[in-house]
């Protein structure tokens, strides 16, 4: 039997990495309490494979003094690279295009300040010039809580406080960094169909955690009412 | 300008905007809640969509809390005229079907086509 070519060996390693990734994902899905590490476990074999591939290219370069072009035409590397470039270009586009923001009312700023003190985190309130109801926390040097004018129109002050507490809870629980990490695992584990399941479950659990913390700090019914109102528009 | 068609709820919201002139989300919600159960967030989503489609304009009001005051950009007459033109063009296209042409006869087809063309032309006022 002829010995395997270096590229055939790489493809064999890729197959192994996918199988291991599937097995670990399945295991993480069975153990529901492992939701936090699930996406990382699922993507780890793929990361291992990519590092192995990088090492392989390095060895080739050391031996030949160059990397033959056909060694670079490898599906996983090409996909991850092109997706990385796409994400970067999208980030630049969003940054350049930007959304316009409105100066918050003093009473709203005060409400937000009180919520920050209650949760024990520092963040910046940004009012986005949009008519539909949108509220989210955004990672930044100082994390932002972004709320649209449309949300302000539809929520009462108690509901607004509850929503602020929910978003600030995300910041307090470190969900911003986790979201970024899970997003990377989604890219790395694109050949594993269970990776999306793990990612979605992690997002759901993070929402549940933030709800729980916010409900401890405010009236649970107010929080439920606010979140129901915000979710209602998604049905349309 | 190409004018998009409106969905059921969008039409209902536009009717309120046309009848009242300038409205807040709460006004539209108040009016439509008499007939059906709707969340204010649904109304604000619909109004935002109408704004993006170019049917309504809005100005930010700061007094009494941040909110938008919406007003119609497209009048009811303009909208109905555009709708009529769209229907006329659709029928005009279907007249190309030989099966329909054989049922209506050559003379009738010519007359209908002429009338519809007038209706669908950009300069037509719909009358």
**Which of B66, B68, B70, B71 to mutate against chain A (most A CBs within 10 Å)?**
B66
- Is pLDDT at A185 greater than 80 in this prediction? yes
d(Cα A196, Cα B35) in Å, to the nearest integer? 41
Let me know: does A154 contact A130? Beta carbons within 8 Å.
Answer: no
pLDDT at residue A172 in the model: 94
| Tens digits of residue pLDDT in A21-47 | 999 999 999 988 889 999 999 999 999
Residue A126 buriedness (CB in 10 A; 0-12 / 13-18 / 19+) = middle
- Which of B109, B74, B68 is CA-nearest to residue B4? B74
E strands in A46-102 = 101-102
Calculate helix-pair angle for A175-188, A38-64, nearest 10 degrees.
Answer: 60
Query: Domain locations in chain A?
Result: 6-96, 100-235
- In this structure, are B21 and B63 located in the same domain? yes
Largest CA distance in chain B: 66
* Residue B68 DSSP symbol: E
Interatomic CA distance for residues B100 and B81, integer angstroms: 26
B67 in the same domain as B83: no
A120: left (phi over 0), alpha (psi -120 to 50) or beta: left
CA distance A187 to A85: 12
pTM: 0.80
Residues B56 and B104 in one domain: no
The minimum CA-CA distance between A110 and chain B, rounded to whole Å, is 13
Which of A122-126, B88-92, B103-107 reaches the highest mean pLDDT?
A: A122-126
Q: Is the pLDDT of residue B126 over 50?
A: no
A228 Cβ contact partners less than 8 Å away, ≥ 6 residues apart: none
Query: Is 60 exceeded by the pLDDT of residue B125?
Result: no
pLDDT band at A78 (very low <50, low <70, confident <90, very high): confident
In a domain? residue B127: no
What pLDDT, on a 0 to 100 scale, did the predictor assign at position B91?
Answer: 78
Q: Cβ–Cβ of A229/B40 closer than 8 Å?
A: yes
Query: How confident is the model over B99-106, as a mean pLDDT?
Result: 72
Q: Which domain holds residue B21?
A: 8-72
- Same structural domain, B63 and B80: no
Output B120 or A139, whichever has higher pLDDT.
Answer: A139
Q: What is the pLDDT of residues A92-112, one digit of tens each?
A: 887 777 778 888 888 999 999
Q: How far apart are CA A173 and CA A121, in angstroms?
A: 10
Strand pairing report for A144-148 and A135-138: antiparallel
Chain A residues within 8 A (CB-CB) of chain B? 102, 104-105, 108, 127, 129-133, 149-154, 229-230, 232-233, 235-236
Give me chain A's average pLDDT, please: 88
Give the whole-angstrom CA distance, residue A152 versus residue A145. 13
CA distances from B38 to A154, B9, B26, B74 (A): 12, 10, 11, 25
Same domain, B22 and B40: yes
Task: Provide the greatest CA pair distance for chain A.
Answer: 78
Confidence band, pLDDT 50/70/90 cuts, at residue B127: very low
Same-domain pairing of B100 and B55: no
Token pair recorded at residue A23: 């097995």
Please, which residues have CB within 8 angstroms of residue B15's CB and are 6 or more apart in sequence? none
Determine whether the interchain pair B45/A229 forms a contact, defined as Cβ–Cβ distance below 8 Å: no
What CATH superfamily is the domain A100-235? Metalloproteases ("zincins"), catalytic domain (3.30.2010.10)
Q: Are residues B17 and B67 in the same domain?
A: yes
Please report, for the domain that includes residue B56, its CATH number: 1.10.10.10
Asked whether residue B2 is domain-assigned, the answer is no
Specify whether the CB–CB gap between A132 and B45 falls below 8 A: yes
Which positions in chain B touch A105 (Cβ < 8 Å)? 62, 65-66
Within a domain: B3: no
Of B106 and B38, more confident? B38
ipTM > 0.95 (yes/no):
no
DSSP string covering A123-173, please?
-EEEEES-SS--EEEE-SSS-EEEEEHHHHHHS-HHHHHHHHHHHHHHHHT
Question: Residue B55: enclosing H or E segment and its boundaries?
Answer: none
Instruction: Indicate whether B125 belongs to any domain.
Output: no
Q: Is A65 left (phi over 0), alpha (psi -120 to 50) or beta?
A: left
Structural domain includes residue B1: no
Q: How many domains in chain B? A: 2
CA dist B83 to B4, B46, B117, Å?
9, 20, 14
Say what the pLDDT of residue B121 is.
67
């Amino acid at each position: 039997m002829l010995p395997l070519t270096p590229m055939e060996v790489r493809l064999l390693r890729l197959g192994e990495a996918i199988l291991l990734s599937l097995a670990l994902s399945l295991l993480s899905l069975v153990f529901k309490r492992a939701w936090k590490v699930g996406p990382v476990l699922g993507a780890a074999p793929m990361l291992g494979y990519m590092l192995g591939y990088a090492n392989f290219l390095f060895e080739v370069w050391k031996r030949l003094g160059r990397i033959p072009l056909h060694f670079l035409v490898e599906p996983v590397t090409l996909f991850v690279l092109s997706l990385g470039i796409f994400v970067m270009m999208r980030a630049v586009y969003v940054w350049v295009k930007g959304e316009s923001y409105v100066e918050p009312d003093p009473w709203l700023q005060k409400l937000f300040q009180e919520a920050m003190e209650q949760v024990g985190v520092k963040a910046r309130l940004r009012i986005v010039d949009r008519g539909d109801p949108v509220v989210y926390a955004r990672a930044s040097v100082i994390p932002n809580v972004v709320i649209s004018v449309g949300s302000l129109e539809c929520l009462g002050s108690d509901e607004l406080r509850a929503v602020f507490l929910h978003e600030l809870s995300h910041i307090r629980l470190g969900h911003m960094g986790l979201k970024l990490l899970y997003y990377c695992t989604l890219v790395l584990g694109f050949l594993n169909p269970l990776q999306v399941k793990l990612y979605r479950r992690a997002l759901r659990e993070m929402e549940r955690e933030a709800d729980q913390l916010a409900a401890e700090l405010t009236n649970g019914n107010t929080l439920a009412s606010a979140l129901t109102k915000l979710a209602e528009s998604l049905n349309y | 300008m190409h004018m998009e068609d409106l969905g059921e709820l969008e039409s209902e919201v536009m009717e309120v905007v046309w009848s009242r002139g300038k409205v807040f989300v709460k006004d539209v919600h108040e009016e439509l809640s008499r007939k059906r159960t709707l969340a204010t967030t649904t109304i604000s989503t619909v109004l935002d969509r109408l704004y993006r489609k170019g049917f309504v304009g809005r100005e930010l009001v700061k007094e009494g809390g941040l909110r938008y005051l919406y007003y119609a950009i497209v009048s009811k007459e303009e909208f109905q005229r555009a709708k009529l033109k769209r229907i006329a063009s659709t029928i005009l296209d279907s007249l190309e079907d030989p099966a329909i042409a054989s049922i209506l006869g050559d003379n009738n087809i010519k007359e209908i086509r002429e009338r519809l063309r007038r209706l669908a032309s950009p300069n037509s006022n719909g009358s």
